[in-house]
A and B are shown apart, each in its own frame.
Chain A
Amino acid sequence: MDLLANLSLGFQHALTFNNIAYAFIGCLLGTLIGVLPGLGPLATIAMLLPITYSLSPDAALIMLAGIYYGAQYGGSTTAIIVNLPGESSSVVTAIDGYQMARQGRAGVALSTAAIGSFFAGCTATLAIAAFAPILSEAALQFGPKEYFALMILGILLATVLSTGPVLESLGMVILGAMISLVGTDVNTGEQRFTFGLTQLYDGVDFVPLAMGIFGFAEIVRNLRSEERSLVTQKITNLFPTRDDWRKMTAPILRGSALGTFLGILPGGGAALASFASYTLEKKISRTPEEFGHGAIAGVAGPESANNAAAQTSFIPLLTLGLPSNAVMALIVGAMMIHNIQPGPQVMTSNPGLFWGLIASMWVGNLMLVILNLPLVGLWVKLLTIPYRFLYPAIMMFCCIGIYSIKNDTFELYQAALVCVVGYGILQLKLPPAPMLLGLVLGPQVEENFRRAMLLSRGDATVFFTSPLSGTLLAIAVVALIFMMLPSIRARREKALQE
């Protein structure tokens, strides 16, 4: 069988002593740097990229893949421990993960994330090995109108994310989309809302905005309540109990499936996957009221989804040469420095490298579990540091991370401003997560909408006549109606009880 032959070729490459060592070093470095607040996978890889230049091509790619998974997992750790998402896909993990941490269940949340990630990684690796060429064809079915429909569906689904009322979440999504308008208009090249500042030509970056709200503004709020440490209850067991296992199994399975599929779509796949998984879990849960207050399914599902998506986002890169996100674009650069042209031919011209990389993804995932389960105890210890020593450290790492995005202080000023605005948002109890989603997906919605209209020469009916986008939009409408109904009902009931 082809699949087995290919995988065994891959494992022959990945399991040499050297390559295992590089996978391990990559995972370790990735975790250690990714865990620092403000340094998500993108910043981590950009920093560590030069280290890989002197290695052989397979070793370099294997190490990079390790760094990527390590950073991804490290980012989730920060999201859970200190409520600081380093990138869009861990925004969701922070919601319930941080609540679990505050209830003394940080260890369980971290182990759940590690176990979910490992399982999702295995699933996605198998999916890549078995279906890479077929899956890459699926990505080709998505043109501008299909993307537009998918994004709209994603955004509507994401509005149930927050604990607040649906209308306010929707408002925050729009606000995020408005912030994303800043910069050069892709279709005309004109500058919008840049106030003449060249640093704004490329728009507002995710990191200063996320750090400003989840980092700095959150610190201001915590300071008011004079907490001695972040944990409000005694730290219980570090590892999941039998009951926890029962609650996380199904979400991990569903999250893995969702992430595997959404990861192959270039642009925003991983972020969408984690948001979608959270929504799904909340909708089908028998106890939806637990979500937002430390539901284990709210960590298990999204973490599995974003790790599976992180894995399958290699598919468009390896089979079509398309980097599906900024991290993948960096990996293309790494391939080029080793004189490898990423593209459809890698699989045939460099089978050892191709299958070796896929096998090393699995090795990398295993490494992560081996490396991180013992570390869980250490991370949890961080929570016992008195808050007055912890928060200046968080601020330092955030500031260094923000500066290193562009080696420029402009983003730091931006974060200081966002801190003030973000404090206002938190005081008004408006949900910040949907705003970040709006910021990430807003440009894609606008671009694809305008591109589709430009291609159809102004005919808006194309969105409904194309079967794929028509179906997605129909689901969006149905979802919207269903979402409005319970919230209206809930409010009535609440008011009547008073």
Chain B
Amino acid sequence: MIRLMTIAAVVAATFGVGMARAEDWPTRPVTWVVPFAAGGVTDTTARKIAVVLADKLGQSVIVENKPGAGGIVGTEGVAVAKPDGYTVLYASGGPMAILPNLKKGKLSYDPVKDFAHVQGITSSSQLIVASPNAPFNTLPELIAYAKANPGKVNFGSPGIGTAQHFAGELLAAAADIEMTHIPYKAGTSQMVDLMSGVIDLSFDYTSVIKPYSDAGKMKVIGATGPERLPSFPDAMTVVEAGLPDAVNVGWTSVALPAGTPQEIVDKLSGALQASMADPSVVEYFAINAQTPITDKGPKDMTQFVVEENEKFARIVTAAGLAE
């Protein structure tokens, strides 16, 4: 009898493991795929949160870098992963909204249909910076200068299809000015050229710009967010300059493959919200001038991704950038 019960228990346990019930999740380490190289802002943020998240979930969280093609390679990998909650994606505006529209029909995933969007993580607006010798000091002066000298202003970006590139295109379209886009390969390689005046203008995040502007190597002339940044209270926003269409905000979020049980989505979202309230993470966000978007849970985040895709579809068509 006892033996029979043991067998039954073993059988039940085997089936239990086989079926991996959603309410027990997570029973083994969770892999958090960062579709960018180790060492970048995205990677660093993920690692900072992962430490706290592991604590909240009671399982280790392994950050795995799968860089390539501006985030497409890693994002693709998660889209086809098993929807069991053990493969998590650190999603962001590039591979989730910009690139799907820029490379329409060429990507193997659909940013809305192939993912369960779990939780918003950060949002950050860009600063508009100019070379220290540029003949303009404010956003209106830039626009006046660009109008008087059409095509003379060169703006750099870390590459075609990045949020920073779109910030420039949006501003040019909204202000009806002509600027020449000079693409670079990575975030910081354009900074030397901006400091020495080879290019005149650039758009980038506070964490990138602050060290240079503090040292007087470049001047901040504006910001692309809807509100002024606490660390740069003097930088006029594009909205204040009368160009609400030029608002551009970069964001990151967490997503799972579509088809993941709702219990897991909710549990992960809760654990992430708790992690983001942790003092070490709060401090990290503050230092890097990233705004946490803790309020965007699974429902709001899905809606947000849909809206972002609509927005970039419009920009790509308007600027004639589709491939």
Contact = CB atoms under 8 A, between A and B. Distances in A.
Contact of A189 (B102, B108, B284): B102
B76 interface: yes
Interface in B272-304: 283-284, 287-288
Interface residues of A, number: 51
A316 B323 CA distance: 36
Contacts of A235: none
B276 to A, nearest CB: 17
Given A140-B196, A202-B67, A451 B182 contact: yes
B39 A329 contact: yes
A139 B161 contact: no
B43 A333 contact: yes
Given A188-B160, A189-B159, A201-B72, A266 B189 contact: yes
Given A198-B68, A199-B73, A202-B69, A267 B215 contact: no
Given A186-B185, A454-B180, A266 B192 contact: yes
Contacts of B37: 326, 329
15 contacts: A140-B195, A187-B160, A198-B68, A199-B73, A201-B69, A202-B67, A316-B192, A329-B39, A333-B43, A339-B283, A407-B64, A407-B66, A443-B185, A447-B185, A455-B154
A344 interface: yes
B134 interface: no
Contacts of A331: 39
Given A49-B38, A454-B180, 14 more contacts: A140-B195, A143-B196, A184-B69, A184-B160, A187-B183, A189-B159, A189-B183, A320-B217, A329-B186, A333-B39, A341-B211, A343-B212, A344-B214, A451-B184
A332 interface: yes
A393 interface: no
A122 B196 CA distance: 31
Contact of A344 (B39, B69, B108, B212): B212
Contacts of A316: 192
A443 B283 CA distance: 39
Interface string B40-55: 1101100110000000
A334 interface: yes
A143 B131 CA distance: 14
A339 B287 contact: yes
Contact of B191 (A322, A330, A332, A346): A322
Interface in B143-168: 154, 159-161
Interface of A: 46, 49-50, 53, 139-144, 184, 186-190, 198-199, 201-202, 266-267, 316, 320-323, 326, 329-334, 336-337, 339, 341-346, 406-408, 443, 447, 451, 454-455
A141 B214 CA distance: 21
A408 B41 CA distance: 22
Size bracket, chain B contacts: 35 or more
A486 B217 CA distance: 48
B196 A198 contact: no
A201 to B, nearest CB: 3
Contacts of A343: 210-212, 214-215
A321 B102 contact: no
Given A144-B198, A321-B188, A451-B182, A406 B68 contact: yes
Interface in B64-104: 64-70, 72-73, 76, 102
B260 interface: no
Given A140-B196, A198-B69, A321-B212, A53 B47 contact: yes
Contacts of B307: none
A322 B184 CA distance: 14
A332 B39 contact: yes
A341 B39 contact: no
Nearest to A326: B37
Nearest to B161: A189
Contact of B323 (A46, A189, A454): A189
B193 interface: yes
A457 to B, nearest CB: 8
B192 A329 contact: no
A49 B196 contact: no
B21 to A, nearest CB: 29
B160 A334 contact: no
A333 B40 contact: yes
Nearest to B102: A189
A385 B13 CA distance: 50
Nearest to B51: A53
Interface in B92-121: 102, 108
B198 A323 contact: no
A179 to B, nearest CB: 17
Nearest to A349: B214
Interface in B203-257: 207, 210-212, 214-215, 217
B211 A342 contact: yes
A337 B48 contact: yes
A85 B319 CA distance: 46
Contact of A322 (B47, B73, B183, B192): B192
Given A406-B67, A454-B182, A345 B215 contact: yes
Contacts of B186: 329
Nearest to A343: B211
A143 B68 contact: no
Given A266-B189, A321-B188, A322-B188, A333 B69 contact: no
Contacts of A408: 66, 73
Contacts of B287: 339, 341
A345 B198 contact: no
Contacts of B73: 198-199, 201-202, 406, 408
Given A143-B196, A186-B183, A189-B323, A323 B41 contact: no
A267 B67 CA distance: 20
